[in-house]
A and B are shown apart, each in its own frame.
Chain A
Amino acid sequence: MPDTIPTALPAALPALAPGHVRHGSSIGQPLTRRDGALKVTGAARFAADNHPPGMLHAVMAVASIAHGRVQSLDIAAARAHPGVVEVMTSSNAPKLARHPDQTGQPFTYKLDLLQDDRVRYANQPIAVVIAETLEAATEGALLLRPTYAAEPSSTSLDQAERFVPDTVGVGSPPNETSGDVAAGLADADSRIEATYDTAPQYHNAMEPHAVVARWDGDRLFLDTPSQGLSMAQARIAGLFGIDAADIHIESPFLGGGFGSKGAVWAPQVLGIMAARLVGRPVKLVTRREQMFGPVGHRAPTRQTLRLGADRDGHLTAVDHHTLTASSTFDDFFEPSGRVSHTLYETPNLRTTHEAVRLDTGTPFFMRAPGEASGSAALESAVDELAEACGMDPLAFRIANYAEQEPKSGKPFTSKKLRDCYARGAERFGWASRPLQPRTLRDEAGLLVGWGMGTASFPALMMQATARATLHADGTGLIELGAHDMGQGAWTAFAQIGADGLGLDAAAVELRIGNSALPNAGMAGGSAHTATAGSAIHDAATAAIRALADLATGDERSALFGAGNQGVVARDGRLHRKDDEQRSERYADILARAGRASLSADGKAAPNAANQAQYAAHAHGAVFAEVKIHPTLGQIRVTRLVGAFAAGAIINPRLVTSQYYGGMIWGVSFALHEHALHDPRTGRVMNANFAEYRVPVNADIPDMEAILVEEDDPYVNALGVKGVGEIGITGTVGAIANAVWHATGIRVRRLPITLERLL
């Protein structure tokens, strides 16, 4: 709790309202995906679908130990294999301009690029075989038969020494306290202390990391999926000592990213190095098992929560301790405690983080990094405390509703969480839930349990630029290096551009996914629509302003003298605000001015004044039903209802899909995903889709996502919060709590598997 709690909202800042632009013609419409026809016919070209003339195939050989050195590789055997062109190892890998452990730019992490013979984690690349065919390269990689000088490795939280990291997440302090947690716990009438374990998880987008690399002198042409084109350019430029502007990346479609494609990883750079080494274009596609190591993951956590509440069920203290892990050689610390900063009102709040270093690849941002694991623990703990207080879990949450952000004391830009609770509960039928566990059965005799959790995710703004153009034929063009990894940028950004330009979406061309376009920042932190969308809005507004200047300053125009602020754009015409009958077509304005087109640049950035005064988060409530076999312990999620408030909704069809996807990741987190390390070798034992379990169609129940209306005048000009990650949060806890309600057993180790119920 901060020293001062604002008693009233701060003097309202000016709302970031649009000027000439009227939103709502395209924005808010459930348009189907613009890239839909390409995706359902196989015509969408993903990175690995490219095949420039003369291209060779590269296959990585990866380490089967987690720590040590490569002693030998049978390079001769690989070279002798018909079709093998070259074997790239630490002895002949091209020299880099910058050592790959030298980071420092944002979102750069240390990479293993065959600069020496050391092995820092299992599945680390140790050689690359380049061949005329994929078959020859694959066989060549097998023929290398590496031998190792292995050293002991640690891959579990119990195996290494703890320390307090300097920062967690992106530059956040590891320990934060307000009030006096010990006193708050001592004062409590009910208290719980519980420890929750979450498993290591690997992103595993369906599309493996891939690159097709082609050098032309010092210019580099790449097809590679990227969630951050300009950061990728900068990283690669640094490694090869070339100009970022000479690196041309095409990434029109990502086959899923979930954070893992936000950085450049070793496989992509090795493909580029291989192309340089052989002087021909090279394609390198990560094999599925190679996705478990060199391309990021979500670290395991062990979180201990100590919560207290008074007689009325009001929290007296929240103490949230996280133990997590990074690699032995680099820093990324899952900020699980962060979620406790924002969700429940409490006078005494402490979040602390400790970490160990493990012989694994470096963990990374994975869909709701921090929030997913933190919410899993917090929502379970809150449920346990509600039980201790004898209260309904929803009533308990409402009793502890935060009117201001607990950590900062700031009011929220908007917060329709009460509506989410009410709408979700009603739809689910929560009111008829018995308080006691193990009381519901279905007609087949299965144990039935109902649980819930609160969802939340920060509404971030990053930086982006965009360009908008009006053509003399009355059409529009929006250009920015934005990224579509499935969230629907191809569609939603066209909708934003269409409203910004006052045109029908069909009359607006969108160009994204290419590094030559204006820098659109990154697709991450659920902030891409908010950020890149705001840049599009800004560019379009500027284009319309310039057009209005042309018209209102020209005495031959019907709009002459209206003044720039006196016109509004709609349906390809500018209208006088004071007399809507007087209007003029864009095409006519441009033609009279002798202009073939008119372009304007726009940008978006966090609004410092608003951020200083307000906290910005999306919220939601998730309700889950599970059915459990009373003797076999088999668990099925049978119903999921989520209600979410995330500001303005650009396209409800796509947003619903994002919520579903997030909630399914929640099912996966709660019941499925678990990368298992062999404690002797440090290898991931289940590095494949049969044993690293993710939900299949039959695992997914009837689901519903309710879009709760929320008007947010402060978060950004579009009023948009993010929707990509929030669905996981809340869902994991809801399922774990439903399992308890069905069985009376608190399983505090995720994923919850049937043997834990027997």
Chain B
Amino acid sequence: MSIPVALTINGRRHALVLDDPRVTLLDLLRERLDLTGTKKGCDRGQCGACTVLLDGRRVNACLALAVSHDGADIVTIEGLAESCGLEPGQLHPVQSAFIDHDAFQCGFCTPGQIMSAVGLLREARSDPNLDDDPERVRELMSGNLCRCGAYLGITEAILDASARLRDAGAEA
């Protein structure tokens, strides 16, 4: 079986031919494209470790079949900064806020948390109060588990990054 799938991943076009329709977007990234920054914590949509941006929206890559997303634009943690026009080696404001606020311990949930946070900040474009209310941030980040318990730092980092972006007149 060979199924052609065209994906833009971190700004690069991939013309792929998959031999298997069962391949999830997560396993495609991790096992076939060596984009292992995106993590697998449960493989069934319950932890958020696999969060990526798919056509600008945050999704659980473990629940997405690669073949169902022909033509999609995907951003993973590896490509986040560059997808926002930053130079290689530079960090996205959410990434640096995560370091400043110690928003992780082991760091395993972190790529998913950050991609989810960026997705949330983009959702806030149409719902402007969403990213400066800690209660709503907590609620909207509750699809991303952190077993180490870095939640305080995560919430603070998102509020801080959001404020910094707003001050700079920039978008996430």
Contacts and interface: CB of A to CB of B under 8 A. Distances in A.
Interface in B110-130: 110-111, 114
Contacts of B138: 697-698, 700
Contacts of B114: 40
A690 B41 CA distance: 12
Given A207-B106, A256-B106, A40 B91 contact: yes
A256 B107 CA distance: 8
Contact of A285 (B22, B40, B95, B109): B40
Contacts of B44: 288, 688, 690
Size range of the chain B interface in the assembly:
35 or more
Contacts of A204: 147
A57 B22 CA distance: 15
A696 B22 contact: no
Interface string A30-73: 00110111111111111011010000010000000000000000
A656 interface: yes
Contacts of A37: 91, 99
Contacts of A38: 107
Nearest to A51: B34
Interface residues of A, number: 64
B145 interface: yes
A700 B151 contact: yes
A49 B49 contact: no
A402 B170 CA distance: 57
Given A135-B23, A256-B148, A700-B149, A41 B78 contact: yes
B43 A207 contact: no
A486 B105 contact: yes
A225 B11 CA distance: 32
A45 B30 CA distance: 12
Contacts of B146: 206, 697
A504 B126 CA distance: 47
A44 B78 contact: no
A287 interface: yes
B73 interface: no
Nearest to B31: A134
Contacts, number: 182
Interface string A507-521: 000000000000000
Contacts of A32: 99-100, 102
Interface in B27-57: 27, 30-31, 34-44, 46-47, 49
Contacts of A139: 22
B68 interface: no
Contacts of A35: 107
Interface string A1-45: 000000000000000000000000000000011011111111111
B72 to A, nearest CB: 19
B39 A46 contact: yes
Given A42-B77, A204-B147, A288-B44, A255 B106 contact: yes
Contacts of A40: 77, 91, 95-96, 98-99, 104, 107, 110-111, 114
A665 B19 CA distance: 43
A135 B41 CA distance: 17
A428 B46 CA distance: 35
Given A288-B44, A697-B142, 14 more contacts: A39-B110, A41-B80, A42-B35, A51-B31, A57-B31, A205-B108, A206-B47, A206-B145, A206-B147, A256-B148, A486-B105, A690-B46, A696-B151, A700-B149
5 contacts: A51-B36, A205-B108, A661-B150, A696-B144, A697-B151
